[in-house]
Amino acid sequence: MSPKKPFFWLLVAVIAVFLLPVVTRDVGLRESLLLAAIYIILATNLNLMIGFTGYVNFGNIVFFGLGGYIGLYLVTAAGFPVALAATVAGLGVGAIALVFGLGILRLRGAYFALATIGIAEAVNAFVSNFGPWGGATGLYLSFEAYRPLGGPREALWTVYLLLVAVMGLSLFLGYAVKTSRFGLGLFAIREDEAAAAVLGVNTPLYKAAAYSLSGVLPAVAGALFFFKQGVIQPDQAFDLTLSTEAIVMLMLGGQGTVTGAALGAFLYEQFRGILLTSPVFSSFQLVIAGALLLVTVLFLPGGLMGWLYHRWPRLRRVLE
């Protein structure tokens, strides 16, 4: 990606916005943008499966949760620095996802979607009974773990910067896949899998690679996020609601586009944040969030990006 590409400047602008709280040392803004960064990571990586490959992964949260568990275990039991633990978690989950993917990606449509929920539930059940990871009560991080990063206050800033970097990588990964030969293969699978296979696309391998790839960065994010949270428990780590919310973000922004996935995630986070803390709307924030989803499905089936593309077709060349 060269500076001549508009996406390069878009990426620079997004990262610049996310670095704003570092300059102003505004903790409130940092916390808001941190959650937005997590959502962007989840949505843009999920986009590799749903938007590019056409496979709906309802259990995408399993990558995030597993990454969190591996990362926190490496920090607490093996004394790994958090950045190394998160990297190992990402690679580990990518490898596990490849194995799962080769198994379940022979299923299509609703059967695949159900299998992904099954995987999330099975991993949840396994972790809930896995002694070294604290079983059902989970892993708790001692305050000592933050000391190498200068105590909890500084550690949270470090984690934030790392998460912004992972978000930048996620956006770049989405762009790189979309503009690559591999991405073309995924689009072919999305449009007509049988035809893609006939035309020479190694569909099982492509799908498994996309599934595995879509798990790496959410796992890194999971490790960083739960390090920040200080505790990880199975029900929090494998929360299917967040999995579904990631799909909503994707639909809101526009699946199949990198900018759309990021925009949807960002707006969704901000929207929920305002509703939750608003004295007027907090009591019925879930109703409003549901209504937003309905409006999106009914009036903007292509999401915000679909609407923008329709309104200004030239944007297709600028916003990937």
CA distances from 183 to 169, 192, 210, 290 (A): 17, 14, 9, 32
Question: Considering the complex, what minimum distance in angstroms separates the CB of residue 33 from another protein?
Answer: 8
Asked whether position 77 contacts another protein by CB under 8 A, the answer is no
Amino acid identity, residue 177?
A: V
Q: Coil, helix or strand for 248?
A: helix
By CB under 8 A, name the one of 9, 111, 126, 140 that touches another protein.
Answer: 140
280-317: burial string, b at 16+ Cβ within 10 Å, e else: eeeeebeeebeebeeebeeebebbbbbbbbeeeeeeee
Question: Considering the complex, what minimum distance in angstroms separates the CB of residue 115 from another protein?
Answer: 22
Mark 17-56 with x for binding to another protein (rule: CB under 8 A) and - for no binding. Answer: ----------xxx-xx-xx---------------------
Asked whether position 153 contacts another protein by CB under 8 A, the answer is yes
* Residue with smaller CB distance to another protein, 76 or 212: 76
* Residue with smaller CB distance to another protein, 190 or 239: 239
* Residue with smaller CB distance to another protein, 103 or 150: 150
Taking CB under 8 A as the binding criterion, the range among 109-117, 161-169, 207-215, 222-230 that sits at the site for another protein is 222-230
Question: Considering the complex, what minimum distance in angstroms separates the CB of residue 289 from another protein?
Answer: 11
Separation of CA 108 from chain center: 22
**What residues from 278 to 297 belong to the interface with another protein (CB under 8 A)?**
282-283, 285-286, 295
Question: Considering the complex, what minimum distance in angstroms separates the CB of residue 144 from another protein?
Answer: 6
Q: How many CB atoms are located within 10 Å of the residue 241 CB?
A: 8
What is the rounded distance in angstroms from the CA atom of residue 268 to the CA atom of residue 289? 9
Asked whether position 312 contacts another protein by CB under 8 A, the answer is no
Tokens of 191: 């449009």
- 63 with 222: CB under 8 angstroms? yes
Question: Considering the complex, what minimum distance in angstroms separates the CB of residue 55 from another protein?
Answer: 26
By CB under 8 A, name the one of 4, 23, 200, 241 that touches another protein.
Answer: 241
- 22 with 33: CB under 8 angstroms? no
By CB under 8 A, name the one of 107, 197, 205, 230 that touches another protein.
Answer: 230
**What residues from 170 to 189 belong to the interface with another protein (CB under 8 A)?**
none
Q: How many CB atoms are located within 10 Å of the residue 108 CB?
A: 12
Question: DSSP assignment, residue 5?
Answer: S
Asked whether position 269 contacts another protein by CB under 8 A, the answer is yes
Asked whether position 9 contacts another protein by CB under 8 A, the answer is no
Size of the site for another protein (CB under 8 A): 52
Question: Considering the complex, what minimum distance in angstroms separates the CB of residue 235 from another protein?
Answer: 8
Q: How many CB atoms are located within 10 Å of the residue 151 CB?
A: 11
- 226 with 71: CB under 8 angstroms? yes
- Residue at token pair 């449009």: 191
Q: Is 179 left (phi over 0), alpha (psi -120 to 50) or beta?
A: alpha
Tokens of 33: 């943008």
Residues forming contacts to another protein in the complex (CB under 8 A) are: 27-29, 31-32, 34-35, 128-129, 135-138, 140-144, 151-153, 156, 228-231, 233-236, 239, 241-242, 266-267, 269-271, 273-274, 276-277, 282-283, 285-286, 295, 299-300, 304, 307, 311
